[in-house]
């Protein structure tokens, strides 16, 4: 591992160019541990709320197909359900274009509070919509509207939550603290999936179709209110506060950067973000959104068996995500991400073969293998993605890049994969899809600069204690003095003509 002082150097040079020529003790951020823990909890809770809905929708996909779409083949209803699921992702970039710039202008905390309200309202409203048998074509239209509201709000959620945690964290522990965001993802998903599993186990099919499926969506209201309360109690991130102070001091009359100018200036990290998110989300949605229906509709497992297997895998993935978050702070983001991508390229086909031909034990082992590989991304991405961008554009760029990639590649994974399996009859299609995403992701990882244990671009170092700040400042000054001496000696040794 490189010396921590050396790892700070290039990012501190960038900070000096944008702020003042010399770093002082006052510039170094001393992170309040209690406030950091509250920020991580609030951000993770919002992500849990988002994924509670995804867990419910994915695990109820077959039931929702019966309720909202005309009777026909089971495959047609399932594809229609996933099409509505995917439609929400099409508006996510629009949400990112609205909420991202707002987050960079008025603050991360305010925007995250508003997205929480919208997410809860969209999820709750699905539970109120009558079925196709009651109101006909209006039922799937209203379902689509509710999903679009959800998609628009979540366009500002993940980028903001990842930014919020990254800017609150110390440089040394940003990977571990960011991994709690995905811990919340799995927790929310498990809560939704657990509710569906309980309903499936204790209710008859007729009861589930008649009214039981609505219960999980109604729970979104109290969850959303609790999340809103927690987020309103938070302060703005230290990095954003310091950025706004600098804006007031030296850029009061400077015109705001337009969206087009931002995209043109940061096209390289934006493409890197899209490539990383493609890898992250194809793996994610393949496991969490497509596999429950794949096990039931394609492999013929009972619905309850499929749900239980996915839930056990997700439960094991929760602590593993934190473990990978801990280790990417020490080993680096790039090695961990690359290991996960290569693992998917090599092991996707064996995993799907186990799922398709190995009986219950084989199905579990195949799912667990995919789940373990996914934790390489879930434990690392919340820290790797915000580090691509500067403080003044972080929320905007991350929200837009993340959601463009999710819309094109992540959210469409269940729809495209189910359609390909239906058209080709080849149950190995999910493996080939994962391998393609992993190849693109691996190429992207090679293009990255290592960001573990470094300050965020545009921000001064963030440490846990004042003593640590003093030690860092002393090392930086000694390092600068040594470089100046080496430069002077080099000049003195230069031969004269």
Per-residue pLDDT reduced to its tens digit, 139-173:
888 888 888 888 888 888 888 888 888 888 999 99
Q: Kindly tell me if the per-residue pLDDT of 324 is higher than 80.
A: yes
HSE-CB for 378 with a 13 A CA cutoff: 30
Residues 6+ apart with CB under 8 A from 194: 311
What are the pLDDT digits (tens) for 417-464? 888 888 888 888 999 999 999 999 999 999 999 999 999 887 778 888
Angle 334-337-341 from CA coordinates, rounded to 5°:
130
Measured CA to CA in angstroms, residue 40 lies from 185, 231, 413 at distances of 13, 10, 29
Encoded tokens for 249: 């001091």
Q: Provide the pLDDT for residue 2.
A: 47
Confidence category of residue 175, pLDDT binned at 50, 70, 90: very high
Cα 386 from Cα 108, distance rounded (Å): 13
pTM over 0.75: yes
Band of the pLDDT at 138, cuts 50, 70, 90?
A: confident
69-80 core/surface letters (b: 16 or more CB in 10 A; e: else):
beeeeeeebbbb
pLDDT the model gives residue 8? 52
From CA 340, how far away is CA 343, in angstroms rounded?
Answer: 5
Beta bridge partners of 29: 462
pLDDT at position 75, please? 65
Using the CB atoms, write b or e for 350-368: b if 16+ within 10 Å: ebbebbbeeeeeebbbbbb
Residue 35 has pLDDT above 70, yes or no: yes
Q: Of 404, 283, 280, nearest to 333 (Cα)?
A: 280
Instruction: Supply the mean pLDDT for the chain.
Output: 82
Token pair of 331 as six digits: 């080993």
Position 317 pLDDT exceeds 90: yes
Q: Among 76-80, 168-172, 224-228, which is the least confidently predicted range?
A: 76-80
Percent of the chain with pLDDT over 70: 87
pLDDT band at 255 (very low <50, low <70, confident <90, very high): low
List Cβ neighbours of 235 (8 Å cut-off, separation of 6 or more).
35, 109
User: pLDDT at residue 497 above 80?
Assistant: no
pLDDT-based confidence at residue 253 (cuts at 50, 70, 90)? very low
Of 43-57, 109-123, 241-255, minimum mean pLDDT range:
241-255
Domains of the chain by start residue, with CATH = 4-237+258-453+460-465 (1.20.1250.20)
Annotate the chain with three-state secondary structure.
CCCHHHHHHHHHHHHHHHCCCCCCCCCCEECCHHHHHHHHHHHHHHHHHHHHHHHHHHHCHHHHHHHHCCCCCHHHHHHHHHHHHHHHHHCHHHHHHHHHHHHHHCCHHHHHHHHHHHHHHHHHHHCCCCCHHHHCCHHHHHHHHHHHHHHHHHCCHHHHHHHHHHHHCCHHHHHHHHHHHHHHHHHHHHHHHHHHHHHHHHCCHHHHHHCHHHHHHHCHHHHHHHHHHHHHCCCCCHHHHHHHHHHHHHCCCCCCCCHHHHHHHCHHHHHHHHHHHHHHHHHHHHHHHHHHHHHHHHCCCCHHHHHHHHHHHHHHHHHHHHHHHHHHHHHCHHHHHHHHHHHHHHHHHHHHHHHHHCHHHHHHHHHHHHHHHHHHHHCCHHHHCHHHCCCCCHHHHHHHHHHHHHHHHHCCHHHHHHHHHHHHCCCCHHHHHHHHHHHHHHHHHHCCCCCCCCCCCCCCCEECCHHHHHHHHHHHHHHHHHHHHHHHHHHHCCCCC
Where is mean pLDDT largest: 82-96, 218-232, 320-334, 464-478?
320-334
Q: Is the separation of the CB atoms in 285 and 406 below 8 Å?
A: no
pLDDT at 261 over 80: no
């Amino acid at each position: 591992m490189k010396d921590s002082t050396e790892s700070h150097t290039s990012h501190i040079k960038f900070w000096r160019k944008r702020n003042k020529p010399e770093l002082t003790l006052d510039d170094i951020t001393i992170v309040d541990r209690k406030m950091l823990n509250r920020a991580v909890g609030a951000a993770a809770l919002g992500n849990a709320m988002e994924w509670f809905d995804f867990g419910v929708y994915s695990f109820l996909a077959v039931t929702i197909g019966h309720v909202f779409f005309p009777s026909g083949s089971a495959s047609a209803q399932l594809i229609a359900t996933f099409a509505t699921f995917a439609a929400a992702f099409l508006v996510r970039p629009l949400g990112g274009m609205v909420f991202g710039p707002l987050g960079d202008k008025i603050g991360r905390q305010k925007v995250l509070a508003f997205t929480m309200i919208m997410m809860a309202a969209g999820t709750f409203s699905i539970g109120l919509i009558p079925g196709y048998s009651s109101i006909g074509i209006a039922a799937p239209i209203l379902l689509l509207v509710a999903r679009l509201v959800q998609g628009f709000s979540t366009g500002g959620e993940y980028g903001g939550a990842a930014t919020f945690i990254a800017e609150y964290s110390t440089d040394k522990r940003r990977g571990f603290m960011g991994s709690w965001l995905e811990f919340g993802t799995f927790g929310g998903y498990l809560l939704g999936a657990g509710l569906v599993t309980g309903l499936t186990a204790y209710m008859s099919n007729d009861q589930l179709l008649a009214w039981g499926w609505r219960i999980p969506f109604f729970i979104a209201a109290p969850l959303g209110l609790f999340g809103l309360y927690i987020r309103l109690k938070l302060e703005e991130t230290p990095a954003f506060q310091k950025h706004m102070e600098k804006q007031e001091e030296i850029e009061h009359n400077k015109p705001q950067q337009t969206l087009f100018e931002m995209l043109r200036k940061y096209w390289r990290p934006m493409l890197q973000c899209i490539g990383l998110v493609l890898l992250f989300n194809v793996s994610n949605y393949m496991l969490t959104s497509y596999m429950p229906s794949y096990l039931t509709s394609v492999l013929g497992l009972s619905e309850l068996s499929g749900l239980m297997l996915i839930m056990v895998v997700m439960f094991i993935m929760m602590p593993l995500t934190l473990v990978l978050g801990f280790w990417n702070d020490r080993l680096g983001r790039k090695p961990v991400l690359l290991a996960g991508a290569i693992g998917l390229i090599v092991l996707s086909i064996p995993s799907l073969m186990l799922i398709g031909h190995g009986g219950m034990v084989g199905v579990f082992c195949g799912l667990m293998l995919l789940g373990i590989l996914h934790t390489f991304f879930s434990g690392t991405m919340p820290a790797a993605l915000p580090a691509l961008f500067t403080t003044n554009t972080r929320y905007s760029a991350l929200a837009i890049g993340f959601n463009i990639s999710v819309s094109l590649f992540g959210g469409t994974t269940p729809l495209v994969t189910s359609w390909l399996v239906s058209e080709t009859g080849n149950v190995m299609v999910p493996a080939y899809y994962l391998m393609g995403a992993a190849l693109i992701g691996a190429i992207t990882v090679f293009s990255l600069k290592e960001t573990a244990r470094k300050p965020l671009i545009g921000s001064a170092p963030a440490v846990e204690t004042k003593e640590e700040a003093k030690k860092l400042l002393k090392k930086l000054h000694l390092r600068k003095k040594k470089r100046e001496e080496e430069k002077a000696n080099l000049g003195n040794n230069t031969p004269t003509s």
